RNA sequence: GCCCGAGUAGCUCAGUGGUAGAGCAGCUCAUUCGUAAUGAGCAGGUCAGGGGUUCGAAUCCCCUCUCGGGCUCCA
């Protein structure tokens, strides 16, 4: 007899040994579109036998686990299609990923996929799906596995990896004590740990999206494979919704909006990754920077300014030439000295610290600068303002006593969140990145610094995960991520407790007892870089920046030329409370001017005509609304927008 | 840097071997208008650059550059 506990339903007894399918059939109220099951916490094929005494829950296609299964199964279908179309193709790995899946191939004779091939492959996949091929799990010994995949070098490498207990390969391929495979047909079988859907007919709401090169095992010294990315969903509607989201994301692309809104561009004559900001973009930048500077001054930071170049000596002391030479711009020789563009601001801030004897009474000493640094990024990684070669960090270095560290970090993290919120961002999470393999310093220091960061995270209540081994070589760090309006994650702020530079620069302060201990040093970028943060704001707001950040806040449109005097009067009363106003004179029809102003995403488009002059009113078009408010009283309108035209007050504790 | 894709007017794009096109934007003139495109006219091009094939190349081939999608990288 087999006893099975169905989660949230209750215990069932069966005369025979049962599989998940049997249990499901026995239920009166069956859960919908079940693709797999979880037996005692383990995600498993529905066809697997269930041991007596197990607890079972069923996984529906619209759950995260269910989608993972169907995406993974769709990847297998794609592999089968590619192998049918390209005899002799080698296939490597094909996992499910966020929103979809991919599979890596090595085509014979150096063939490459083109975009048209995607359609051919999709068509073949639909045939496979229509055939309702079963996914049959088989468990093999290593030897059988090696035999079965003798023509598939990547599979062989995975099997050998599994035999040696590689965790990475276990995830990809197989089971302890042997390997598992999933067979769809006599000719198509794939090495896989599973689980999978019961048969290919349960799939079908998918689309192949793009082809890309990808290194085998992510190692650029190894073969470059052809990767096809696809997306797959539980229903036609969910697929359509996802494709719609992709379109929406494309509309938010800051590179596209940056051009449409005349904010910035990347002149080829200047070089890749080196943007120029046009007047509107530069104004937004100015507002971002001024808001930040004021907040920093209010929070007891002191401003610093440092040059863009320094002698090699400085970067030898700091260690940048040792650790990051590849990422630095090449040197310039001048009058017998070697100069480098700076990749970071910290060494220069340290020189400010060291310019005089520092007492414990001065600490924490907080230096702040919008410091432009240059980093040589490989051409393929540049991405609009989000990844550039010349970037301005809103960079701060805080020097404090060891006993001040935890308090200072907490205060700092609070400040970071306060300023980010002032820009209308709300949804944050953090990563605590710990010591990497390639690093310097002793364990106690790393432990203490990491612990202080953890204390700060706990104190602010920011949700966080620990990223083992993801720290910088010299320091553990907190990375703050945010989710934008359509749920995408962006890394912004970073806080690092530096264990190395104070030593390298032989920094100290004079303590109460006249001893000379080393200060701790905290590196911190809050926006990350001004350029990248600019991009995030554009994408988050889809170009419709909050009023206080909008280059033009009010467009005033006199209906006829003889309404110009009143338009100027309205303009003056708005300008008097600090607003940025543009009058669009009546040289073309009203509709055209309204359209232009709306396309520019001006927050308020104000129309004034005969009726408004006699009643001292306005026609108000708010951004995002397609219906105007007519006859709004001028004075009360000005009063109502007064608060939003100027940068927000940032209250620092 | 590597793989794939794309470069035609300021922008968006049409043009597959036979005289370089359209819309928007720009300029000029006219129009004076109450809620998302007023009309007419003008101007605008080394078809990314270089080489090749051809009687003839935006179009076919090769190289280079730039941009985009990924991979790797991101102090």
Instruction: Write the secondary structure of A576-610 as one string of H (helix), E (strand) and C (coil).
Output: CCCCCEEECCCCCCHHHHHHHHHHCCCCEEEEECH
Pair A299, A415: CB distance under 8 Å: yes
A477 is catalytic: yes
* Token reading at A111: 């063939």
Q: How many helices (H) and strands (E) does chain A have?
A: 20, 34
Q: Distance (Å) from CA A274 to C1' B16?
A: 37
Q: What distance in Å separates the CA atoms of residue A643 and residue A552, rounded to the nearest whole number?
A: 16
- Residue A277 sits at φ, ψ, to 5 deg, of -95, 125
- What sign has the CA pseudo-torsion A312, A313, A317, A322? positive
User: What pLDDT is stored for residue A176 in this prediction?
Assistant: 59
A320 is catalytic: no
pTM above 0.90, yes or no: yes
- What sign has the CA pseudo-torsion A9, A14, A17, A19? negative
Burial A388-416 (b: 16+ CB within 10 A, else e): bbbbbbbbbbbbbbeebbbebbbbbbbbb
Asked whether residue A629's C-beta has any atom of DNA/RNA strand B within 7 A, the reply is no
Q: In the 205-224 stretch of chain A, whose C-beta falls under 7 Å of nucleic acid strand B? A: 210-215, 218-220, 224
Q: In the 88-117 stretch of chain A, whose C-beta falls under 7 Å of nucleic acid strand B? A: 112-115
Q: Which residue's structure tokens are 């001024």?
A: A290
A192 is catalytic: no
Instruction: List the A2-6 sheet strands across, edge first.
Output: A10-14, A2-6, A54-60, A34-39, A42-44
Out of A72, A137, A227, A346, pick the active-site residue: A346
A40 is catalytic: no
Q: What distance in Å separates the CA atoms of residue A23 and residue A17, rounded to the nearest whole number?
A: 10
Q: What distance in Å separates the CA atoms of residue A69 and residue A252, rounded to the nearest whole number?
A: 31
Asked whether residue A330's C-beta has any atom of DNA/RNA strand B within 7 A, the reply is no
Asked whether residue A272's C-beta has any atom of DNA/RNA strand B within 7 A, the reply is yes
User: What pLDDT is stored for residue A599 in this prediction?
Assistant: 93
Asked whether residue A469's C-beta has any atom of DNA/RNA strand B within 7 A, the reply is no
Asked whether residue A329's C-beta has any atom of DNA/RNA strand B within 7 A, the reply is no
Q: What distance in Å separates the CA atoms of residue A131 and residue A587, rounded to the nearest whole number?
A: 66
Asked whether residue A619's C-beta has any atom of DNA/RNA strand B within 7 A, the reply is yes
Pair A74, A122: CB distance under 8 Å: no
* Token reading at A454: 């953890």
Q: What distance in Å separates the CA atoms of residue A567 and residue A385, rounded to the nearest whole number?
A: 37
Closest nt by CA–C1' to A560: B32
Beta bridge partners of A57: A38
Closest nt by CA–C1' to A380: B1
User: What pLDDT is stored for residue A95 in this prediction?
Assistant: 92
A393 is catalytic: yes
Closest residue, CA to C1' of B72: A220
Residues of chain A below pLDDT 70:
166-176, 653
Out of A523, A540, A563, A593, pick the active-site residue: A523
DSSP E strand boundaries for A186-325: 189-191, 205-215, 224-233, 264-265, 276-277, 302-303, 309-311
| Burial environment of residue A178 by CB neighbours within 10 A (0 to 12, 13 to 18, 19 or more) | middle
- Residue A368 sits at φ, ψ, to 5 deg, of -135, 140
Q: What distance in Å separates the CA atoms of residue A81 and residue A88, rounded to the nearest whole number?
A: 12
Give CB contacts under 8 A, 24+ apart, made by A407-410: A408/A364, A408/A522, A409/A452, A409/A453, A409/A455, A409/A456, A409/A495, A409/A497, A409/A522, A410/A455, A410/A456, A410/A459, A410/A460
Q: What distance in Å separates the CA atoms of residue A349 and residue A37, rounded to the nearest whole number?
A: 57
Closest residue, CA to C1' of B48: A268
A523 is catalytic: yes
| Burial environment of residue A25 by CB neighbours within 10 A (0 to 12, 13 to 18, 19 or more) | exposed
Nearest to A329 by CA among A398, A274, A265, A253: A274
A42 is catalytic: no
User: What pLDDT is stored for residue A53 in this prediction?
Assistant: 86
Q: Which positions on chain B have an atom < 7 Å from some protein CB? A: 1-5, 11-12, 30-38, 65-75
Q: What distance in Å separates the CA atoms of residue A483 and residue A467, rounded to the nearest whole number?
A: 18
User: What pLDDT is stored for residue A9 in this prediction?
Assistant: 86
Asked whether residue A528's C-beta has any atom of DNA/RNA strand B within 7 A, the reply is no
* Token reading at A393: 């960090």
Q: What distance in Å separates the CA atoms of residue A438 and residue A182, rounded to the nearest whole number?
A: 39
* Token reading at A493: 């702020």
User: What pLDDT is stored for residue A296 in this prediction?
Assistant: 97
Q: Distance (Å) from CA A381 to C1' B1?
A: 10
Nearest to A39 by CA among A27, A61, A62, A55: A55
* Token reading at A273: 């990754």
Q: Distance (Å) from CA A601 to C1' B10?
A: 21
Asked whether residue A258's C-beta has any atom of DNA/RNA strand B within 7 A, the reply is no
User: What pLDDT is stored for residue A318 in this prediction?
Assistant: 94
């Amino acid at each position: 007899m087999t006893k099975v506990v169905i989660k949230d339903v209750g215990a069932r007894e069966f005369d025979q040994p049962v599989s998940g399918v049997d249990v499901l059939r026995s239920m009166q109220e069956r859960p919908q579109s079940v693709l797999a099951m979880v037996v005692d916490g383990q995600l498993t094929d529905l066809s697997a036998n269930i041991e007596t005494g197990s607890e079972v829950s069923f996984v529906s296609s619209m759950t995260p686990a269910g989608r993972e299964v169907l995406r993974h199964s769709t990847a297998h279908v794609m592999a089968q299609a590619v192998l049918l179309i390209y005899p002799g193709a080698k296939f490597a790995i094909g996992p499910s990923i966020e929103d979809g899946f991919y599979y890596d191939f090595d085509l014979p004779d150096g063939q490459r996929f083109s975009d048209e091939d995607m359609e051919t492959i999709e068509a073949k996949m639909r045939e496979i799906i229509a055939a309702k091929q079963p996914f049959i799990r088989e468990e093999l010994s290593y030897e059988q596995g090696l035999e079965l995949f003798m023509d598939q070098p990547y599979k062989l490498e995975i099997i050998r990896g599994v035999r040696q207990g590689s965790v990475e390969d276990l995830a990809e391929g197989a089971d302890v004590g042997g390997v598992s495979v999933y067979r769809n047909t006599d000719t198509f079988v794939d090495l896989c740990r599973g689980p999978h859907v019961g048969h290919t007919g349960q799939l079908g709401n998918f689309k192949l999206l793009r082809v890309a090169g990808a290194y085998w095992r992510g190692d650029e010294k190894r073969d470059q494979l052809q990767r096809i990315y696809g997306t797959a969903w539980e229903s036609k509607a969910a697929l359509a919704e996802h494709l719609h989201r992709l379109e929406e994301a494309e509309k938010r692309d800051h590179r596209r909006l940056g051009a449409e809104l005349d904010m910035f561009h990347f002149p080829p004559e200047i070089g890749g990754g080196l943007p120029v900001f046009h007047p509107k973009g530069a104004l937004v930048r100015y507002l971002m920077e001024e808001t930040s500077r004021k907040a920093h001054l209010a929070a007891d930071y002191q401003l610093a300014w440092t040059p863009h170049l320094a002698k090699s000596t400085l970067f030898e002391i700091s260690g940048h030439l040792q650790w990051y030479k590849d990422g630095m711009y090449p040197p310039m020789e001048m009058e017998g000295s070697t100069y480098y563009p700076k990749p970071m601001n910290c060494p220069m801030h340290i020189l400010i610290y060291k310019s005089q004897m520092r007492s414990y009474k001065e600490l924490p000493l907080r230096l702040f600068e919008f410091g432009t640094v240059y980093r040589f990024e490989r051409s393929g990684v540049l991405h609009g303002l989000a990844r550039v070669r010349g970037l301005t960090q809103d960079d701060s270095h805080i020097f404090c006593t060891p006993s001040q560290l935890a308090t200072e970090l907490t205060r700092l993290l609070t400040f970071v969140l306060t300023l980010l919120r002032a820009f209308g961002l709300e949804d944050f999470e953090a990563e605590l990145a710990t010591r990497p393999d390639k690093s310097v310093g002793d364990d106690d220091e790393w432990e203490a610094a990491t612990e202080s960061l953890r204390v700060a995270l706990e104190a602010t209540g920011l949700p966080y995960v620990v990223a083992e081994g993801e720290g910088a070589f010299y320091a553990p760090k907190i990375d703050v991520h945010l989710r934008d309006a359509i749920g995408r994650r962006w890394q912004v702020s970073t806080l690092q407790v530096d264990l190395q530079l104070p030593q390298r620069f032989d920094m100290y302060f004079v303590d109460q007892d006249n001893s000379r201990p080393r200060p701790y040093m905290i590196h911190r970028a809050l926006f990350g870089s001004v350029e990248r943060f600019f991009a995030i704001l554009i994408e988050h707001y889809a170009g419709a920046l909050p009023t206080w950040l909008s280059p033009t806040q009010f467009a005033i449109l006199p209906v006829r030329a003889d309404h110009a005097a009143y338009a100027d009067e309205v303009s003056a009363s708005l300008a008097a409370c600090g607003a940025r106003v543009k009058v669009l004179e009546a040289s073309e029809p009203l509709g055209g001017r309204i359209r232009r102003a709306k396309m520019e995403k001006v927050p308020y488009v104000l129309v004034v005509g005969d009726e408004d002059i006699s009643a001292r009113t306005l026609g108000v078009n708010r951004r995002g609304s397609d219906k105007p408010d007519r006859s709004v009283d001028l004075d009360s309108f000005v009063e109502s927008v007064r608060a939003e035209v100027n940068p927000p007050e940032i209250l620092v504790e």
